[in-house]
Amino acid sequence: MNRVEGVILDWAGTAVDYGCFAPVNVFVDIFKNAGIEVTMEEARAPMGMLKIDHIRAMLSMPRVSALWEAKYGRAFDEQDVERLYAEFEPALMTSLSEYTDPIPGVIEIVAALKAQGLKIGSTTGYTSSMMEVVAANARQKGYSPDIYFTPDNTRSKGRPYPYMIYRNMEALQLSASWKVVKVGDTVSDVKEGVNAGVWSVGVVIGSSEMGLSMDEFQAMSESEREAAISKVEQRFIWHGADFTIRTMRELSQLIERINDMLAQGKRPGIRG
């Protein structure tokens, strides 16, 4: 039957940790300790990638790369990447459990989807040791997908590679990529879904891409909110998202829309 069989969710910024704040300050801090002042925007840009790849991506940014060369008289190398990551992981682990609150609406929507018979998988930019902390704390707070995979399960080939999605499909026995919906809050998430050939969906409010706390978002005027939402929606679509949703509460309705499209013979990558 041509219907959605499974949904694969990202973790931070999608299912838990509104605004995806757990890693951001740590990225800023480790670069500051190395004598390089990076912006929050630079720290967020590669979000969703495996964290060591995230550091490599930040060092490769023209401005950051130039600052590094000015500071050290040479281009960064792999030893620098590994040294920064060695500082990043323990710093993140000390605070990670504090950033595991489910985002409003997620517990309810996941329960509703499971009640409809859908399988709920997940992928992440966190390592397996990080996910042990996140998954255990989120479970105590009421959120638990059927399964999760990390880049440690795919030989460190994280997003935008599609392999974590394929591992979910295999484990959950999902029969075809076009019967799978991937939801995430970063460009890396969108690309992961596109590369896997599944329906790729960007969630906007509470996303790392928006980069605002709940208080910051609620303090904005209506016009400011709409402008911020529109900017993120356009970025997701530009990078290949089939759809965007403002919050996870819209996911059930979107899946029904996708089911209607599947019944008409439509497939991911073809909007309309």
Collapsing DSSP states into helix, strand and coil, what is residue 272?
Answer: coil
Collapsing DSSP states into helix, strand and coil, what is residue 149?
Answer: strand
Q: How far apart are CA 123 and CA 116, in angstroms?
A: 21
Q: Tell me whether residue 53 is one of the annotated catalytic residues.
A: no
Q: Locate tokens 């016009």: which residue?
A: 223
Of 29, 32, 51, 146, the active-site residue reads: 51
Q: How far apart are CA 268 and CA 198, in angstroms?
A: 6
Q: How far apart are CA 205 and CA 13, in angstroms?
A: 9
Contact 8, 183 (CB under 8 A): yes
Q: Tell me whether residue 51 is one of the annotated catalytic residues.
A: yes
How is residue 33 written in tokens? 């300790």
Contact 43, 58 (CB under 8 A): yes
Sequence-ordered list of residues with C-beta below 8 angstroms from that of 179, at least 6 positions apart, any chain: 2, 3, 4, 5, 6, 262
Q: Locate tokens 């019967």: which residue?
A: 179
Of 10, 17, 189, 242, the active-site residue reads: 10
Contact 219, 197 (CB under 8 A): no
Binding residues for Mg(2+): 10, 12, 185
Residues paired with residue 248 on neighbouring β-strands, in sequence order: none
Contact 189, 209 (CB under 8 A): no
Exposed/middle/buried for residue 270 (C-beta within 10 Å: 0-12, 13-18, 19+): exposed
What residues are annotated to the active site?
A: 10, 51
